[in-house]
Amino acid sequence: MTKNVIEVNNLEHSYGPIKAVDNISFTVKQGEIFSFLGPNGAGKSTVINILTTLKKIQKGEARVNGYDVAKDPKSVRRSIGIVFQMLCLDHEMTVYENLEYHGKIYSMPKKERKERIDELLRLTDLESKRNTLAKDLSGGMKRRLELARGLMTRPAVLFLDEPTVGFDIQTRMKMWEYLREIKKEGTTIFLTTHYMEEADQLSDRISIIDHGKIIVTGTSDELKNKLGKDLIYLETTNNKVAAEILRSLKSVKSVTEDTKSLRVIIGEDVTHALPLIMDKMRGEGIDITTVNIKKPSMDDVFVHYTGHGLREGNENGNHQGTEIGGMSE
């Protein structure tokens, strides 16, 4: 049986009156890529900080690699690698020197160090900057260097807090590919993200976290299949009445009213359900003006479980993937 590398039971953490982590329990199996998907302020960093021993446990239990986080933090620290949101680079060193120094601290042999640095510079598109001082890099380049640094060693568990924030989609996809390679070598990866595609495409399992609570956990397919077979976006001449009619149908699992359209989750094959829906509408004197059918996506899963809206991230003019947005209630 695959062993649990991370085990968390009834974890709670408060900052004064703010309950940042609210009775969370989960396990991560050896060799899994496990994601916490949630908006800013959901409690992701607090959990990662507790698991990596940077924050003390207030309530609950957590074990990493079999070591109790509260009782044996040194052993936990020795067995993990961490990439944080904050930058910990030495700004007076070049890109190459930052990586070299990190490899030396971890006693990597010279040949392996050099090979790993070349590989990571290629991956993070920093080859042309290898002799540039860290302080002279752009913000995005600094983040890529930070990630490269965290990937220099191969710990049993790698913790990545929002590892690809601010990356363009090409670099992000290269990074996913690389993390999949690391996983093949047996490393367990725990990451936090607020990018839907990142959680969807990279993770073996995902926990959606919001307001300090895990709302649902599963593989990407499990989460999507739970929603229903198909999703129909409808625009009609009277959305309000149409929504009521739809809710009365057996084949309809749920209806959400957006500003212009109705988002309808269907529990059976759409080719059977749609003709019936159209008949019903016609019978009530409502015209359907637009029909758009699709399979449930991770965005739909997120909206379904949290009720939050979404926005398209667009930094530096590049498509960044769908982010979670509009989170405050």
Ligand X SMILES: Nc1ncnc2c1ncn2[C@@H]1O[C@H](COP(=O)(O)OP(=O)(O)OP(=O)(O)O)[C@@H](O)[C@H]1O
Q: Which residues bind ligand X (CB under 6 A)?
A: 15, 18, 20, 38, 40-46
CB atoms within 10 A of CB 29: 15
Q: Which is nearer to ligand X, 113 or 194 (CB)?
A: 194
Contacts of 133 (CB under 8 A, 6+ apart): 91, 92, 93, 94
Least separation in angstroms between residue 71's CB and ligand X is: 23
Q: Which is nearer to ligand X, 17 or 285 (CB)?
A: 17
Q: How far apart are CA 95 and CA 117, in angstroms?
A: 10
**Side-by-side strand order, sheet with 67-68:** 18-29, 4-15, 59-64, 67-68
Residues 301/266, Cβ–Cβ less than 8 Å? no
CB atoms within 10 A of CB 211: 16
Least separation in angstroms between residue 103's CB and ligand X is: 28
Q: Which is nearer to ligand X, 44 or 142 (CB)?
A: 44
Residues 231/264, Cβ–Cβ less than 8 Å? yes
Which residue shows structure tokens 């989170």?
A: 327
Q: Read off the amino acid at residue 74.
A: K
Q: Which is nearer to ligand X, 13 or 113 (CB)?
A: 13
Contacts of 125 (CB under 8 A, 6+ apart): 144, 171, 174
Tokens of 260: 């212009």
Least separation in angstroms between residue 164's CB and ligand X is: 13
Q: Which is nearer to ligand X, 1 or 86 (CB)?
A: 86
Q: Which is nearer to ligand X, 44 or 205 (CB)?
A: 44
Q: Which is nearer to ligand X, 21 or 227 (CB)?
A: 21
Q: How far apart are CA 65 and CA 188, in angstroms?
A: 10
Q: Which is nearer to ligand X, 48 or 76 (CB)?
A: 48
Least separation in angstroms between residue 45's CB and ligand X is: 3
Least separation in angstroms between residue 56's CB and ligand X is: 13
Least separation in angstroms between residue 122's CB and ligand X is: 29
Tokens of 132: 């540039």
Least separation in angstroms between residue 44's CB and ligand X is: 4
Least separation in angstroms between residue 36's CB and ligand X is: 8
Tokens of 315: 């930094």
CB atoms within 10 A of CB 321: 22
Q: Which helix (H) or strand (E) holds 304?
A: helix 298-306
